[in-house]
Copies of this chain bind each other. A is one copy, B any other.
Amino acid sequence: MYHRLILGNIYRRVGSLLHPLPKPHPSFKPLSLSSKPLIFISHLRTSATNLQPPSSMDSTEISLRQSLAEKQAAVDAQATAVRELKGSSAADKASVNAAVEALKGLKLEKSSIEEQLQAILKSNGGESREAFRQGVINTLERKLFYVPSFKIYGGVAGLYDYGPPGCAVKQNVLAYWRQHFVMQENMLEVDCPCVTPEVVLKASGHVDKFTDLMVKDEKTGTCYRADHLIKDFCKEVLEKDLSLPAKKREEFEHVLAVLDGLSPEELGAKIKEYGITAPETKNELSDPYPFNLMFQTSIGPSGVSPGFMRPETAQGIFVNFKDLYYYNGNKLPFAAAQIGQAFRNEISPRQGLLRVREFTLAEIEHFVDPQDKSHKKFPDVASLEFLMFPRELQESGQSAKKMALGEAVSKGTVNNETLGYFIGRVYIFLTSLGIDKEKLRFRQHLSKEMAHYAADCWDAEIECSYGWIECVGIADRSAYDLHAHTDKSGVALVAHEKYAEPIEVEKVTITPVKRELGLAFKGNQKMVVEALEAMDEKDAMDMKANLESKGEVEFKVCTLEKNVTITNKMVTIKKEKKKEHQRVFTPSVIEPSFGIGRIIYCLYEHSFYTRASKAGDEQLNVFRFPPLVAPIKCTVFPLVQNQDYEKVAGQIVKSLAAAGISHKIDTTGTSIGKRYARTDELGVPFAITVDSIDSVTVRERDSKQQIRVPVDEVSSVIKEVTDGQSTWGDVQWRYPTHSSVSADE
């Protein structure tokens, strides 16, 4: 049991550089979850910490660190020399003084290098990133984009509420997701419950393997993630100890790079080696042990039916495959989709909205014939060019490169057209929301990161103040999931293809004789039977030949971790010719899986900027959300508190509501400039100032340009520019510019 848990853990994590995965024997079916959203949610991976640590350090920093190490060595050598001189009776005072002066000089030089390095660290990331993030987060919390849940009761780590603007942004992102994926691709959307019985998650592997490794404070019982403690320790040493010898630095960097692949024993050994204790109490820590991340509950009143809150939405689709295939007229390919809440009981959530205990996933399962993964709409995306980071570049220490998607597929960098098609569609989706193209890359999983069954895996990673964050996983999971549920439920989740005419096939059938096996192996019978049945054709024919010639044969049963003797009474192996009318096969599944909260958080960072107020005495916050995403599309401001203006404002509000345009009216007497600033912070793209009863001023948020539009046309103009039928440029061309700046500031 423990062995399997650990195995699961290794599989689930980023492929360990220390422990390449053993290739499992075919009779052992590892319930690997490696390429699943599991990873991407569980592991907030930043390339700085696990895959390409050096690439995030710029060349100046590297050379400064080298100089510093050299200078430190020189200081050490000179100090030794001084000590020796002082201890030697032969040395004269002058030469001692000269050596001491030389040491002082070296130390000064070292300090100067240290200062330069500090300055670079500060500007490169570190503090300036931190300050930027604080600016964004302060605005988000003050404007109720999100707040910690249950705040009046002190909150709960890892749970957040979306307040009105955040909730609207989320709804807009989801509506666009439905339009862009479900509608455009005619996907079958389903809606399954969060409460899930144990058997389903046993089949998927979550019950046994959906774990993180945990250590406990031996005295207080407080729990920590083992890898987090080691990561924090290494990062702190690397950041603070500037004169760390190059060799030590390399060691810590190596640990960070391979951390995700360490076994519980290895993590425990590192904790002991580094003397890591509980962060608050400094108490000793327990050995690391696996903790299942699912929220457990009980279904029904009897207490005998365990259930879990689903850790992903995908399983709801897999278990419905048969019905969905029928609904689709028994035709492949087709895709099913689901948007919904998923849950994971994180050991110690951190990094705000990026690692939470409850989150919204949007998942697509595209079912396809494994023999034909072409996609008829691939040409629509083939000419897209964007940052891609194939495993070759990662392994050779290079950085992501702009590539044409069509080429990446034709060269085989991306495994197949369908996978490529989704990569392209995800690119369009994210950039349409306002994700910065230069801070978006598609990173291929290293072969060691992937489950053995996965054909290929790419993550859409977005760069934000926390580093490169995995926001969408796009995986070709082959037939793994449907196989797992077929095995567990006994319901064949398969597709059919009729042959034009029946074909003759030769098939090997393996029939274990259970009675004989039971007599021989007692409690181990089941494992032996499974291993026999799982033999491939070649192994089976070899065994047949051996049994016929020798009467018995040695056979390795992986799950028993030993060889057993099989006699010819125990199994019948035949090769037969059969006529087949149709091909029955388990479809492959290509799974794009979106962490909606992460995408939204990155969007906030990419949309945020500050600009000086007119008086220049203040920095004003702005979110440059595209209209598609903006929580409120339009504000209405009567210029002054005046009955006529308020009546006009009322009419406009009514027609905006009827057109389904989210809006906000502000009738306070505050200056227009202040009212603009308030709504710029909410990312409202357009403002209507009612400054006459016939026509009004419409102002665009980022350019601050203004046009005059007749009252009875204004709501349709706003609809045009927020629906994306027209651009601001289009309407600017149609209406006179409003040149008075008095209204704006």
Check if A183 is an interface residue, CB within 8 A of chain B: yes
Q: Which residue of B lies closest to A723 (CB)?
A: B660
Interface residues of A in 350-366 (CB under 8 A from B): 357-358
**A153 and B297 form a contact (CB under 8 A):** no
* CA gap between A162 and B161 in the complex, in Å: 26
Check if A301 is an interface residue, CB within 8 A of chain B: yes
Contacts of A160 in B (CB 8 A): 193
Q: Mark A296-307, 1 if CB is under 8 A from B, else 0.
A: 111111100101
Give how many copies assemble into the complex: 2
**B296 and A152 form a contact (CB under 8 A):** no
Question: What is the minimal beta-carbon distance from A327 to any residue of chain B, in angstroms?
Answer: 5
Contacts of A488 in B (CB 8 A): 153
**Stretch of A255-263, A318-326, A502-510 with 4 or more beta carbons under 8 angstroms from chain B:** A318-326
Check if A269 is an interface residue, CB within 8 A of chain B: no
Q: Return the contact of A327 from the options B157, B164, B189 (Cβ within 8 A).
A: B164
**B161 and A189 form a contact (CB under 8 A):** no
Contacts of A386 in B (CB 8 A): none
Interface residues of A in 367-413 (CB under 8 A from B): none
**B296 and A150 form a contact (CB under 8 A):** no
Contacts of A191 in B (CB 8 A): 161-162, 166-167, 170
**B299 and A357 form a contact (CB under 8 A):** yes
Q: Mark A139-158, 1 if CB is under 8 A from B, else 0.
A: 00001100101111100110
Interface of A (DSSP majority class): mixed
**B189 and A164 form a contact (CB under 8 A):** yes
Question: What is the minimal beta-carbon distance from A346 to any residue of chain B, in angstroms?
Answer: 8
Q: Which residue of B lies closest to A336 (CB)?
A: B164
**B190 and A162 form a contact (CB under 8 A):** yes
**A167 and B194 form a contact (CB under 8 A):** no
* CA gap between A160 and B193 in the complex, in Å: 7
Check if A188 is an interface residue, CB within 8 A of chain B: yes
Q: Which residue of B lies closest to A662 (CB)?
A: B183
Check if A668 is an interface residue, CB within 8 A of chain B: yes
**B297 and A309 form a contact (CB under 8 A):** yes
Contacts of A184 in B (CB 8 A): 657
With contacts A162-B190, A191-B167, A199-B153 taken as known, whether A297 is within 8 angstroms of B300 at the C-beta atoms is no
Check if A196 is an interface residue, CB within 8 A of chain B: yes
**B302 and A223 form a contact (CB under 8 A):** yes
**B299 and A149 form a contact (CB under 8 A):** no
Contacts of A147 in B (CB 8 A): 320, 323
Question: What is the minimal beta-carbon distance from A482 to any residue of chain B, in angstroms?
Answer: 11
Check if A135 is an interface residue, CB within 8 A of chain B: no
Check if A179 is an interface residue, CB within 8 A of chain B: yes
Closest CB pairs A-B (n = 5): A162-B191, A152-B489, A223-B301, A152-B491, A164-B188
Q: List 19 A-B contacts (CB under 8 A).
A: A149-B193, A149-B316, A152-B493, A156-B195, A156-B307, A160-B193, A161-B191, A162-B192, A163-B320, A170-B191, A193-B357, A194-B343, A195-B343, A222-B302, A291-B301, A295-B298, A299-B357, A300-B347, A329-B668
